[in-house]
Structure formats: C-alpha cells, structure tokens
Amino acid sequence: MYRSEKTEIKLLNCEYCFDKIPESDLNYSDHLGVSAKFEIKKENQIDTGSQQLRQLSIEKQILTKSLKIIEEAEIRVLWDRRLFLALCVLFIILIVATTKLDLNVPFAFAFVALVRFTLTLMAGFSFCYGFVGLTIELKALKETKFSMRKIIKNLL
C-alpha cells in the first residue's frame, strides 16, 4: 500500500521460496515464503488529479474486497472454535465412558490406559487450540479489519 507521488514501484518477479526440501517430498513448513523483486523509480512527472482519483478508487476496491475475505475468515474461525470444542467434549465423554471398561474386560488395562492417555492429549489439544489459538487468531483478524477500515476511511 506504499504510495508516493514522486516514486513508482513496479513488481518485477514474485515466486515461492522454501517450498520443498531439495530431493524430498517434505515441505519446510506449512507456510510458504515469498521472494519478490521490485523496481523503484522516481517519477519526473506529477500525476494528474484523474490519475490520483483512479488510483484511490482501485485501492478502495481492493481493500473492500479484502475486508470481505477477512469477514469470511472470522466466520471460519468461529466455526473452527465450535468444532474443536465439540471434539474436546467428545474426547471427554469417551474418557468417562472408558473408566469402567478395564474392570469389565480382563487383560485390557494397559490398552485402555493407553487409549485414555491418547484421548486426554487430544482433549487437551482441542481445548487449548479451541480457546487460546483461535482466540488469538480472531483478535488478529478483528485488528486487521479495524486497520483496513481506518485506511479506507482515510482514502476518502
């Protein structure tokens, strides 16, 4: 969103980096890096008023579309929160349901204990991610939306 009346910025090349580990099917991460090369020139001519208005209109359209994407992401985060908390409740129900299982089934104590331990880990992860991780993500989306609305308001 950098804009100056005396500077022109042009994107020359944009590509992914750190995608795959060489000679392997594994990725470096679940996030891709981006490498971009820009050309920055100083302009000798001053933009006319119509060019500036057109540029402002384009920026406003892009930000408005971005706001819609962020609002969709907020809805997705809320649904994800419901999903992970429902999974947490399901895992807790399964833990409670298996409390008497090892007493009724002989020689199943070790297996049932291992299943309960795994369910406890999964319930803990679902609870933490459902509350902590997705709350942080939701706050970040709201802050981004607020900042973008502020930028749109300043463009007018």
| The model's pTM | 0.59
Q: How far apart are CA 34 and CA 71, in angstroms?
A: 24
Q: How far apart are CA 70 and CA 85, in angstroms?
A: 22
pLDDT digits (tens, 9 = 90+) for 84-137: 999 999 999 999 998 887 777 777 888 888 999 999 999 999 999 999 999 999
Give the residue among 58, 62, 41 at the shortest CA–CA distance from 50.
58
Give the residue among 49, 78, 89, 66 at the shortest CA–CA distance from 1.
66
Q: How far apart are CA 100 and CA 155, in angstroms?
A: 65
Confidence of residue 1 (pLDDT cuts 50, 70, 90): very low
- % of the chain surpassing 90 pLDDT: 38
For residue 43, give the DSSP letter.
-
pLDDT digits (tens, 9 = 90+) for 48-73: 667 777 777 888 888 888 899 999 99
pLDDT digits (tens, 9 = 90+) for 5-24: 566 777 788 776 666 666 76
